[in-house]
Amino acid sequence: MEYNFLELKNGIRIIHKHVKSEVAHCGFVIKTGSRDELFDKNGITHFIEHAIFKGTKKRKAYHILNRIDNVGGEINAFTTKEKTSIYASFTKEHFERALELLTDILFNSTYPESELKKEKDVIIDEINSYLDSPYEQIYDDFEELIFKDHPLGMNILGTVDSVKKIDRKKILNFIKENYRTNQIIFSIVGDLSFKKIEKLCNKYLKEIPEKTNDKKRLPFKGYQAIQKEIRKDVYQTHCIIGNIAYGTHHKNKNGFILLNNILGGPAMNSRLNMGIREKYGFTYNIESSYTAFSDIGLFYLYLGTDQKHIEKSIKLINRELKILRDKKMSTSQIQKAKQQIIGQITLSEENNCNVMLGMGKSMLVYDKVEGLKETYKKINEITREELQEIANEIFDKKQLSSLIFSPNE
């Protein structure tokens, strides 16, 4: 079996993949993200991700950071719209040290007010650094434009005002309401016996009090295409074009992942890169991406260009989208595209830390982890008719929204 599973009586689930390596990775993936916040507490999930390292019932921040660093390992965390991840990388003999530390900071953090005050300044600096980067800011602003008045539209970092209002009481209440043991996965990738993992997980996680419920998130409805241009103090023109797309459980999700990879994925031979950057030299950076949430998804197409090239670039983009809507790709084109994405997936398996985090996410979303053979099979089953149908739905010109940051005149 490729994966080992264990579910504790308190609902915490453990998944392990054995790999031959001196380095191991483990972490908690929690089904709580910025989408679960109320508007007056925007940014609290990300704030917790920072503050969780600032002290526990038996450790100060200094001791938390040194516990893994002293053996050459690394500890980190991040927040998304729908989940929080806290994880560590280390040499395999230090697995128990990592498990004990991660458990301590997740379940026993004290969130001292003195540390919270300092961390507010750090996060406000982080917010301001994003505001100084139009490439990063435009993605957040586009999400706010599409998901207006909905939690999915809120910035993961929060705002300067909302962060200033976060205190220890609000943090503890939010954790109590949102961190549930049946929505926590502990994921491990490493050269470790599952018998040892089972023994240690029982030692450190078994006594965590059970807290279970079914989280119901507010669904997003009522999308309307919108076009907006903002004048800013920027040198380059930044543009995002996009549309709502499929959620994680939709039958067309895999097909759209493939189609997006063809259009503007990471490879240099994507249609957007070849048809606009390489052919005309209008832009240094042009790409498309697709994020699938639990009930809906979002497609974005980004480019940065000189103001004098923006109209021509948008016309070229629309031409590429029209081709995908109007013309089925040939069998050979699709076969090459499938071979490419299968190769990308296979290469990504070399990063065991990302594999560990992906396993945790998959368990949260699908309650299972697919092996590579099953993933490849699903990719190979995608037809050119499906891709054209998806293109006509997601790339429908009438349904596309856009946001442009233009230089001040």
Q: What is the assigned CATH class of domain 3-205?
A: alpha beta
Task: Please tell me if the domain spanning 3-205 has the same topology as the one spanning 227-407.
Answer: yes
Tell which CATH architecture fits domain 227-407.
2-Layer Sandwich (3.30)
Burial class of residue 243 in the structure, from the number of CB atoms within 10 Å of its CB (0-12 exposed, 13-18 middle, 19+ buried): buried
pLDDT of residue 215: 74
- In whole angstroms, give the CA distance from residue 325 to residue 320: 9
* Chain segment 67-114, per-residue pLDDT in tens: 999 999 999 999 999 999 999 999 999 999 999 999 999 999 999 999
CB neighbours of residue 173 within 10 Å: 12
The tokens for 64 are 């938390």
Query: What is the percentage of the chain residues whose pLDDT exceeds 90?
Result: 94
The tokens for 212 are 């279970």
Q: What residue spans define the domains of the chain?
A: 3-205, 227-407
Cα-based distances in Å from 406 to 236, 283, 308:
7, 15, 11
pLDDT of residue 213: 78
Cα-based distances in Å from 249 to 115, 288, 294, 362, 387:
40, 21, 7, 12, 17
The tokens for 288 are 């498309």
Q: Give 216's pLDDT tier (boundaries 50, 70, 90).
A: confident
- In whole angstroms, give the CA distance from residue 189 to residue 355: 8
Answer yes or no: pTM beyond 0.85.
Answer: yes
- In whole angstroms, give the CA distance from residue 398 to residue 321: 12
Once rounded to an integer, what is the mean pLDDT over residues 170-184?
95
Burial class of residue 264 in the structure, from the number of CB atoms within 10 Å of its CB (0-12 exposed, 13-18 middle, 19+ buried): buried
Mean confidence (pLDDT) of the chain: 95
Q: Give 180's pLDDT tier (boundaries 50, 70, 90).
A: very high
Q: Are 11 and 135 a contacting pair, CB within 8 Å? A: no
Once rounded to an integer, what is the mean pLDDT over residues 147-159?
96
Q: Is the pLDDT of residue 148 over 80?
A: yes
Pairing of the two strands 13-18 and 184-190: parallel
pLDDT of residue 1: 54
* Chain segment 283-299, per-residue pLDDT in tens: 989 999 999 999 999 99
Q: Are 203 and 221 a contacting pair, CB within 8 Å? A: no
* Chain segment 28-66, per-residue pLDDT in tens: 999 999 999 999 999 999 999 999 999 999 999 999 999
The DSSP call for residue 10 is T
Determine the distance from the C-alpha atom of residue 26 to the mean position of all C-alpha atoms in its chain, rounded to a whole number.
Answer: 18
